[in-house]
Amino acid sequence: MDGNYDGLVDRLQTVVDDLDQISFDQLREASADRKGRPVDDKRLTQARRAIEKAIRLLGSDSGVDE
Protein backbone atom coordinates (compact mmCIF):
# COMPACT_ATOMS: atom_id res chain seq x y z
CA MET A 1 0.00 0.00 0.00
CA ASP A 2 1.13 3.50 -0.70
CA GLY A 3 -0.20 4.97 2.56
CA ASN A 4 -2.59 7.37 0.83
CA TYR A 5 -5.82 7.01 2.75
CA ASP A 6 -7.47 10.26 1.72
CA GLY A 7 -10.70 8.57 0.61
CA LEU A 8 -11.00 6.63 3.84
CA VAL A 9 -10.21 9.70 5.92
CA ASP A 10 -12.96 11.60 4.08
CA ARG A 11 -15.49 8.82 4.81
CA LEU A 12 -14.48 8.73 8.46
CA GLN A 13 -14.91 12.50 8.67
CA THR A 14 -18.42 12.07 7.30
CA VAL A 15 -19.12 9.60 10.12
CA VAL A 16 -17.81 12.14 12.66
CA ASP A 17 -20.12 14.76 11.16
CA ASP A 18 -23.06 12.33 11.40
CA LEU A 19 -22.26 11.58 15.04
CA ASP A 20 -22.11 15.32 15.74
CA GLN A 21 -25.54 15.79 14.20
CA ILE A 22 -27.05 12.89 16.15
CA SER A 23 -25.55 14.19 19.37
CA PHE A 24 -26.74 17.73 18.72
CA ASP A 25 -30.26 16.51 17.93
CA GLN A 26 -30.39 14.47 21.14
CA LEU A 27 -29.11 17.38 23.22
CA ARG A 28 -31.66 19.72 21.63
CA GLU A 29 -34.49 17.28 22.34
CA ALA A 30 -33.34 16.75 25.93
CA SER A 31 -33.17 20.50 26.47
CA ALA A 32 -36.64 21.05 25.01
CA ASP A 33 -38.02 18.30 27.25
CA ARG A 34 -36.09 19.70 30.23
CA LYS A 35 -34.24 16.43 30.67
CA GLY A 36 -30.64 15.89 31.67
CA ARG A 37 -27.81 14.54 29.58
CA PRO A 38 -29.03 12.06 26.95
CA VAL A 39 -28.28 8.42 27.75
CA ASP A 40 -26.20 7.90 24.60
CA ASP A 41 -24.19 11.13 24.90
CA LYS A 42 -21.14 9.53 26.53
CA ARG A 43 -21.10 6.61 24.06
CA LEU A 44 -21.43 8.92 21.05
CA THR A 45 -18.60 11.10 22.38
CA GLN A 46 -16.34 8.08 22.86
CA ALA A 47 -17.09 6.82 19.36
CA ARG A 48 -16.39 10.26 17.90
CA ARG A 49 -13.03 10.47 19.67
CA ALA A 50 -12.05 7.00 18.47
CA ILE A 51 -12.86 7.90 14.88
CA GLU A 52 -11.00 11.19 15.18
CA LYS A 53 -7.96 9.25 16.40
CA ALA A 54 -8.20 6.99 13.35
CA ILE A 55 -8.39 10.07 11.13
CA ARG A 56 -5.23 11.49 12.73
CA LEU A 57 -3.39 8.17 12.36
CA LEU A 58 -4.41 7.62 8.76
CA GLY A 59 -3.97 11.25 7.80
CA SER A 60 -0.42 11.50 9.08
CA ASP A 61 2.41 11.21 6.58
CA SER A 62 4.84 9.81 9.13
CA GLY A 63 4.49 6.24 7.89
CA VAL A 64 5.22 4.97 11.39
CA ASP A 65 3.52 1.67 12.23
CA GLU A 66 2.19 1.31 15.77
Q: Using one digit for the tens of pLDDT, what is the confidence trace for 2-28?
A: 578 999 999 999 999 999 999 999 999
The pLDDT tens digits of the residues spanning 17-61 come to: 999 999 999 999 999 999 888 989 999 999 999 999 999 999 976
* 32 within domain boundaries: yes
Domain count, the chain: 1
Distance CA 6, CA 20 (A): 21
* 64 within domain boundaries: no
CB atoms closer than 10 angstroms to residue 55? 19
Distance CA 10, CA 29 (A): 29
Q: How far is C-alpha 34 from the geometric centre of its chain's CA atoms?
A: 26
* 66 within domain boundaries: no
pTM of the model: 0.80
Are the CB atoms for 11 and 43 separated by under 8 Å?
no
The parent domain of residue 31 ranges over: 6-59
* 1 within domain boundaries: no
Distance CA 40, CA 61 (A): 34
* 38 within domain boundaries: yes
